[in-house]
Amino acid sequence: MVKVALFVRLEAKPGKEKEVENFLVSGLPIVNEEPDTTAWFGIRLGPSTFGIFDAFPDEAGRQAHLSGKVAAALMEKAGELFSEPPSIENVDVLAAKLPS
């Protein structure tokens, strides 16, 4: 069961859309190594707007992810790829359907 999540909104700099897409795709193998990242999605919301949605069983899992490799890479690349700092929102999961 997941109880908490993150929603991260990312706005690519002009001309950096493909690089942001590649960055998100490259994050999947890293988060696959995180036992408490129950669900992780790299998403595209519009031509230059991207996002990450990930869910965790508890606050400890969320905090472990925030101090992990993908979060570090995101902050390292922020100035290069994004027109504004990533918007990271803590959210509560009210209901979820996940594969068993």
Average pLDDT of the residues in 8-14: 98
Please name which of 53, 51, 44 lies closest in space to residue 10, comparing C-alpha atoms: 51
* Residue 24 CB neighbour total at 10 angstroms: 20
Please name which of 36, 39, 28, 97 lies closest in space to residue 62, comparing C-alpha atoms: 36
Helix axes 17-31, 69-81, angle to 10 degrees: 170
pLDDT value of position 47: 98
Instruction: List pLDDT tens digits, range 43-90.
Output: 999 999 999 999 999 999 999 999 999 999 999 999 999 999 999 999
Give the up-direction half-sphere exposure of residue 9: CA atoms within 13 A in the CB hemisphere: 8
- pLDDT of 100 higher than 90: no
Question: Two tokens at 89?
Answer: 């929102």
Confidence at 42, pLDDT banded by 50, 70, 90? very high
